[in-house]
Amino acid sequence: MSIEKQKIFSKPPQSYWMASTHQTDYPILKEDIKVDVAIIGGGITGISTAYLLSKDGVKVAVIEADRILQGTTGHTTAKITSQHELIYSKINKQMGREFAEQYADANESALRMIEKIAAENNIECDFVPQSAYVYTQQDEYIDKIKDEAQIADSLGIKASYLEEIPLAFPIKAAVRFDNQAQFHPRKFLLPLAKEITKSGNQIFEQSRVVDIEDSSNYVLITNQGKKVTAQKIIIASHYPCYNKAGLYFTRIYPERSYVVAIKAKESYPGGMYITIEEPKRSIRSQRSDDSELILIGGESHKTGQGEDTIKHYEALIDYAGETFTVEDIPYRWSTQDCMTLDGLPYVGHFTSNTSNMYVATGYGKWGMTNSMASAMILKDLIVDGKSPWQDVYSPSRKTVAASAKNFVVENLNVAEKLIEGKISPSPDDIGVRTGEGKIIKANGQRLGAYRDKQGKLHVVDTTCTHMGCELYWNSAEKSWDCPCHGSRFTYEGDVIEGPAVNPLNTHNDVNTIEKLIKDNF
């Protein structure tokens, strides 16, 4: 690793969206409450849905496990676009024109809704109109891009086919969507959270829902033992935290991807860009207080299944150096996306038999417009009983069942990782250096050990508390990640990301483990 990269990695990852806004301080739920609608999850979907419902006079409570808007919402690339790679030709071919029209209308409407809400509430959120491009440098994708441009245009999106883009490198083909946008997600959503509480509704932080009881009403139970009774509930926790119905863990798989924010010598030409081929590269700019940042994203892999995760940041840094004259890299961060079997989100009734339980998940890499579209769908279903886009987003749509090949592939991968983790041998060298995490074995037990900068050893049981898969160390984020369903834990065992709701078992007898390590190092 070069000296320049060592300097970058000497600091922990930090999202620009998080660094440029204040941390929230909403209360912990300390008493039992009753509401019309309880929303599990305080990301962009939960906050947007609560805002829209509150406008219709619905009594709402948002229950967030950590702090609102600092999960995937605080670690996005924040493109507000109906352009989702080559989605419209895919939907048109596999599901028909009606579904393609619904998806296009939903995302274009969501884009305009974000703009409208920002204007109505005088929210300064760096909302900037931009064109969105999908491009290729390979001949094999030219015809596919032509098809996407034609179909998107026929659906009412202002789309056009190009053979050049404003960036300073040659391409084979591109499709451009006009009238798209970018923004600062937390600057947009933090004021909405305030509007929710101003209207008499409630937001609770650091209140993880660990169980849901279904009787005449739903009862949510938090890790503090407090209860939220609600006529209807929405599970907007990114990965659904409820496993008793729906089998979502069999039809969602999580992927991690990475962003580096650079300062470059060149002026950015405008626009938002993404490649169609692998490895994906996403590029957009963002105005900061004193300069312009260029956000370069990509390097997707299944959670817990990447190689040394620092290599993904290094690959983006190398690409940035090949594309721009890099002067500084002040920020870098990663995020987690829920992918579905047919590539479309699951939004609506949790199952066909749960009329008062709703879900919103599976946005893939396109969570900004899809989350607002989801909020609009959920509001309409709860208030009016129907939505014009409910069929294409329905978790019970027929195309989900038809994705048998993807179902088999993804779940064989889960089974493989479950078995692999149980039988993998311990490494010969079990020494744990400062800043390092690794798997060790003590008295036949598989353990995760991490040594912090003060030299203290932290030891956890690496069995995921969700469904028993074995965790792997994520060196870039200093976390224990599940390769089966994407749960993530701190090196101290606390849940970072679900679907797990319980922390890892920790081992307090570290002196014995320290002795074992010294004896074998």
pLDDT at position 193 is 98
Query: β-strand 218-222 against 281-287: which pairing, if any?
Result: unpaired
Tens of pLDDT, residues 4-35? 777 788 889 999 999 999 999 999 999 999 99
Tens of pLDDT, residues 155-198? 999 999 999 999 999 999 999 999 999 999 999 999 999 999 99
Residue of 422 and 223 predicted with greater confidence: 223
Contact yes or no for 367/244 (Cβ under 8 A): no
Highest mean pLDDT among 71-80, 396-405, 418-427, 468-477: 71-80
Label residue 514 by pLDDT band (50, 70, 90): low
Domains along the sequence of the chain with CATH: 28-76+186-251+343-397 (3.50.50.60), 255-338 (3.30.70), 437-520 (2.102.10.10)
Label residue 361 by pLDDT band (50, 70, 90): very high
Label residue 425 by pLDDT band (50, 70, 90): very low
Label residue 429 by pLDDT band (50, 70, 90): very low
Q: Residue 487: name the closest of 220, 234, 304 by CA.
A: 304
Q: For residues 280-305, give the mean pLDDT.
A: 93
Residue 180: both structure tokens together: 């798209």
CA-to-CA distance for 75 and 335, rounded, in angstroms? 6
pLDDT at position 521 is 41
pLDDT at position 303 is 87
**Omega before 279 cis (within 30°)?**
yes
pTM here? 0.89
Taking 70 as the threshold, does the pLDDT of residue 65 lie above it? yes
Contact yes or no for 125/184 (Cβ under 8 A): yes
Taking 90 as the threshold, does the pLDDT of residue 296 lie above it? yes
Query: β-strand 357-361 against 202-204: which pairing, if any?
Result: unpaired
Q: What is the 3-state secondary structure (H, E, C) of 310-339?
A: HHHHHHHHHHHHHHCCEEEEEEEEEEEEEE
